[in-house]
Protein backbone atom coordinates (compact mmCIF):
# COMPACT_ATOMS: atom_id res chain seq x y z
CA UNK A 1 0.00 0.00 0.00
CA UNK A 2 2.79 2.45 0.95
CA UNK A 3 4.66 1.62 -2.27
CA UNK A 4 1.61 2.42 -4.35
CA UNK A 5 1.01 5.65 -2.43
CA UNK A 6 4.63 6.76 -2.92
CA UNK A 7 4.50 5.97 -6.64
CA UNK A 8 1.30 8.02 -6.90
CA UNK A 9 2.90 11.00 -5.12
CA UNK A 10 5.96 10.87 -7.38
CA UNK A 11 3.82 10.78 -10.50
CA UNK A 12 1.71 13.70 -9.27
CA UNK A 13 4.80 15.74 -8.35
CA UNK A 14 6.52 15.43 -11.69
CA UNK A 15 3.20 15.70 -13.49
CA UNK A 16 2.56 19.15 -12.03
CA UNK A 17 6.02 20.35 -13.09
CA UNK A 18 5.47 19.10 -16.64
CA UNK A 19 1.98 20.60 -16.84
CA UNK A 20 3.27 23.99 -15.68
CA UNK A 21 6.18 23.81 -18.14
CA UNK A 22 3.90 22.83 -21.02
CA UNK A 23 1.77 25.89 -20.30
CA UNK A 24 4.80 28.18 -20.47
CA UNK A 25 5.96 26.64 -23.75
CA UNK A 26 2.44 27.00 -25.17
CA UNK A 27 2.23 30.68 -24.23
CA UNK A 28 5.71 31.44 -25.59
CA UNK A 29 5.01 29.75 -28.91
CA UNK A 30 1.65 31.51 -29.21
CA UNK A 31 3.12 34.97 -28.57
CA UNK A 32 5.33 34.58 -31.64
CA UNK A 33 2.35 35.18 -33.90
CA UNK A 34 2.02 38.74 -32.56
CA UNK A 35 4.96 39.71 -34.77
CA UNK A 36 2.98 38.85 -37.90
CA UNK A 37 1.37 42.21 -38.71
CA UNK A 38 -1.23 43.12 -41.29
CA UNK A 39 0.64 45.57 -43.56
CA UNK A 40 -0.56 49.16 -43.88
CA UNK A 41 -0.89 50.37 -47.48
CA UNK A 42 0.33 53.95 -47.81
CA UNK A 43 -0.30 54.42 -51.56
CA UNK A 44 -3.85 53.21 -51.85
CA UNK A 45 -5.49 49.84 -51.41
CA UNK A 46 -4.71 47.63 -54.42
CA UNK A 47 -4.19 43.91 -54.86
CA UNK A 48 -0.69 44.50 -56.23
CA UNK A 49 0.21 46.83 -53.37
CA UNK A 50 -1.00 44.35 -50.76
CA UNK A 51 0.96 41.56 -52.43
CA UNK A 52 4.17 43.60 -52.38
CA UNK A 53 3.61 44.67 -48.78
CA UNK A 54 3.16 41.05 -47.74
CA UNK A 55 6.35 40.05 -49.55
CA UNK A 56 8.31 42.85 -47.87
CA UNK A 57 7.44 41.30 -44.53
CA UNK A 58 9.40 38.13 -45.29
CA UNK A 59 11.78 38.63 -42.31
CA UNK A 60 8.77 38.35 -40.00
CA UNK A 61 7.75 35.05 -41.61
CA UNK A 62 11.31 33.72 -41.44
CA UNK A 63 11.84 34.62 -37.79
CA UNK A 64 8.41 33.27 -36.85
CA UNK A 65 9.10 29.98 -38.62
CA UNK A 66 12.57 29.62 -37.08
CA UNK A 67 11.41 30.41 -33.56
CA UNK A 68 8.23 28.32 -33.76
CA UNK A 69 10.20 25.29 -34.88
CA UNK A 70 12.91 25.97 -32.30
CA UNK A 71 10.47 26.23 -29.39
CA UNK A 72 8.69 23.11 -30.62
CA UNK A 73 11.95 21.16 -30.69
CA UNK A 74 12.89 22.63 -27.30
CA UNK A 75 9.58 21.38 -25.89
CA UNK A 76 10.15 17.91 -27.35
CA UNK A 77 13.62 17.74 -25.78
CA UNK A 78 12.28 19.10 -22.49
CA UNK A 79 9.66 16.35 -22.54
CA UNK A 80 12.40 13.85 -23.32
CA UNK A 81 14.41 14.84 -20.24
CA UNK A 82 11.34 14.36 -18.06
CA UNK A 83 10.93 10.85 -19.45
CA UNK A 84 14.23 10.02 -17.76
CA UNK A 85 13.14 11.46 -14.41
CA UNK A 86 10.94 9.81 -11.82
CA UNK A 87 11.06 12.46 -9.06
CA UNK A 88 12.11 16.05 -8.51
CA UNK A 89 14.19 18.17 -6.16
CA UNK A 90 14.37 21.86 -5.33
CA UNK A 91 17.48 22.28 -7.49
CA UNK A 92 15.79 20.52 -10.39
CA UNK A 93 12.73 22.78 -10.13
CA UNK A 94 14.87 25.93 -10.04
CA UNK A 95 16.83 24.71 -13.07
CA UNK A 96 13.54 24.05 -14.86
CA UNK A 97 12.29 27.50 -13.88
CA UNK A 98 15.45 29.13 -15.25
CA UNK A 99 14.91 27.37 -18.56
CA UNK A 100 11.27 28.48 -18.67
CA UNK A 101 12.34 32.06 -17.96
CA UNK A 102 14.50 32.01 -21.07
CA UNK A 103 11.78 30.32 -23.12
CA UNK A 104 9.42 33.22 -22.39
CA UNK A 105 12.07 35.65 -23.68
CA UNK A 106 12.24 34.03 -27.15
CA UNK A 107 9.46 36.21 -28.68
CA UNK A 108 11.57 39.34 -27.96
CA UNK A 109 14.69 38.45 -30.03
CA UNK A 110 12.32 37.04 -32.63
CA UNK A 111 10.66 40.45 -32.90
CA UNK A 112 14.08 42.10 -33.19
CA UNK A 113 15.08 39.88 -36.10
CA UNK A 114 11.72 40.36 -37.79
CA UNK A 115 12.02 44.16 -37.61
CA UNK A 116 15.72 44.72 -38.27
CA UNK A 117 16.98 41.82 -40.44
CA UNK A 118 16.94 43.95 -43.60
CA UNK A 119 18.39 47.04 -41.91
CA UNK A 120 21.94 48.09 -40.86
CA UNK A 121 21.01 46.93 -37.34
CA UNK A 122 20.65 43.31 -38.48
CA UNK A 123 23.95 42.28 -36.91
CA UNK A 124 22.89 43.38 -33.43
CA UNK A 125 19.44 41.80 -33.77
CA UNK A 126 20.89 38.46 -34.86
CA UNK A 127 23.56 38.60 -32.15
CA UNK A 128 20.87 39.05 -29.50
CA UNK A 129 18.94 36.18 -31.07
CA UNK A 130 21.91 33.80 -31.07
CA UNK A 131 22.94 34.97 -27.61
CA UNK A 132 19.50 34.13 -26.25
CA UNK A 133 19.77 30.59 -27.53
CA UNK A 134 23.29 30.29 -26.13
CA UNK A 135 21.79 30.94 -22.70
CA UNK A 136 18.95 28.51 -23.38
CA UNK A 137 21.47 25.83 -24.27
CA UNK A 138 23.26 26.43 -20.95
CA UNK A 139 19.90 26.16 -19.19
CA UNK A 140 19.28 22.77 -20.81
CA UNK A 141 22.68 21.56 -19.65
CA UNK A 142 21.91 22.76 -16.12
CA UNK A 143 18.53 21.01 -16.17
CA UNK A 144 20.10 17.78 -17.40
CA UNK A 145 22.86 18.00 -14.80
CA UNK A 146 20.38 18.62 -11.97
CA UNK A 147 18.33 15.64 -13.15
CA UNK A 148 21.26 13.25 -13.44
CA UNK A 149 23.46 14.31 -10.50
CA UNK A 150 24.22 11.13 -8.54
CA UNK A 151 21.25 9.57 -10.38
CA UNK A 152 18.96 10.51 -7.49
CA UNK A 153 16.11 11.68 -9.73
CA UNK A 154 16.49 9.20 -12.58
CA UNK A 155 14.50 6.11 -13.35
CA UNK A 156 16.49 2.95 -12.55
CA UNK A 157 16.30 1.85 -16.20
CA UNK A 158 18.24 4.89 -17.49
CA UNK A 159 21.72 3.90 -18.64
CA UNK A 160 24.83 5.92 -17.86
CA UNK A 161 25.80 5.77 -21.53
CA UNK A 162 22.53 7.52 -22.43
CA UNK A 163 23.25 10.39 -20.06
CA UNK A 164 26.83 10.78 -21.28
CA UNK A 165 25.68 10.89 -24.89
CA UNK A 166 23.06 13.54 -24.11
CA UNK A 167 25.63 15.70 -22.33
CA UNK A 168 27.98 15.49 -25.32
CA UNK A 169 25.24 16.60 -27.69
CA UNK A 170 23.90 19.39 -25.49
CA UNK A 171 27.38 20.76 -24.84
CA UNK A 172 28.04 20.80 -28.58
CA UNK A 173 25.25 23.34 -29.06
CA UNK A 174 26.80 26.06 -26.90
CA UNK A 175 29.93 26.79 -28.98
CA UNK A 176 27.84 26.69 -32.15
CA UNK A 177 25.43 29.30 -30.80
CA UNK A 178 28.40 31.40 -29.69
CA UNK A 179 29.79 31.09 -33.21
CA UNK A 180 26.45 32.32 -34.58
CA UNK A 181 26.59 35.24 -32.14
CA UNK A 182 30.03 36.44 -33.29
CA UNK A 183 29.36 35.75 -36.97
CA UNK A 184 26.27 37.97 -36.73
CA UNK A 185 28.57 40.99 -36.71
CA UNK A 186 30.09 39.80 -39.98
CA UNK A 187 27.01 38.39 -41.73
CA UNK A 188 23.57 38.30 -40.13
CA UNK A 189 22.24 35.78 -42.64
CA UNK A 190 24.99 33.27 -41.92
CA UNK A 191 24.25 33.66 -38.21
CA UNK A 192 20.57 32.85 -38.74
CA UNK A 193 21.56 29.93 -40.96
CA UNK A 194 23.63 28.43 -38.14
CA UNK A 195 20.64 28.71 -35.82
CA UNK A 196 18.57 27.00 -38.49
CA UNK A 197 21.15 24.25 -38.87
CA UNK A 198 21.02 23.54 -35.15
CA UNK A 199 17.45 22.34 -35.63
CA UNK A 200 18.87 19.20 -37.16
CA UNK A 201 21.04 18.60 -34.08
CA UNK A 202 18.17 18.97 -31.60
CA UNK A 203 15.87 16.86 -33.77
CA UNK A 204 18.58 14.20 -33.84
CA UNK A 205 18.89 14.37 -30.04
CA UNK A 206 15.17 13.84 -29.55
CA UNK A 207 15.06 11.04 -32.13
CA UNK A 208 18.04 9.18 -30.68
CA UNK A 209 16.73 9.52 -27.14
CA UNK A 210 13.35 8.11 -28.15
CA UNK A 211 15.00 5.14 -29.84
CA UNK A 212 17.11 4.54 -26.75
CA UNK A 213 14.08 4.80 -24.47
CA UNK A 214 12.26 2.18 -26.49
CA UNK A 215 15.46 0.10 -26.52
CA UNK A 216 15.41 -0.04 -30.30
CA UNK A 217 18.91 1.39 -30.46
CA UNK A 218 21.25 2.20 -27.57
CA UNK A 219 22.17 5.88 -27.28
CA UNK A 220 25.97 5.97 -27.08
Task: Tell me the helix, strand and coil percentages in the chain, rounded to 5.
Answer: 80, 0, 20
Q: Give the span between the Cα atoms of 77 and 94, in whole angstroms.
A: 18
**Total residues belonging to the chain:** 220
Choose among 205, 201, 197, 203: nearest CA to 163. 205
- Residues near 46 by beta carbon (within 8 Å), at least 6 away in sequence: none
When pLDDT is cut at 50, 70 and 90, the band that residue 11 belongs to is low
Q: Coil, strand, or helix at residue 127?
A: helix
Q: Over the stretch 30-88, which tens digit does the pLDDT of each residue have?
A: 888 877 777 777 776 777 778 887 788 787 788 788 778 888 888 988 888 888 888 88
pTM tops 0.85 = no
Tens digits of residue pLDDT in 161-203: 777 777 777 777 788 889 999 999 999 989 988 888 887 777 7
Domain boundaries, the chain: 2-213
Strand boundaries in 8-156, DSSP class E? none
Amino acid sequence: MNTKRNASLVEKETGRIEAFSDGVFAIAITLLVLDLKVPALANGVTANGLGKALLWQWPSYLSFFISFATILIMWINHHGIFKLVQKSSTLFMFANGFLLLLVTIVPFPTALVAKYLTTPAASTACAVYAGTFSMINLAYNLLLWSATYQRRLLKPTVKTSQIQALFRLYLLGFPLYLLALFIAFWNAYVSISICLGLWALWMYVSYERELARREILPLQ
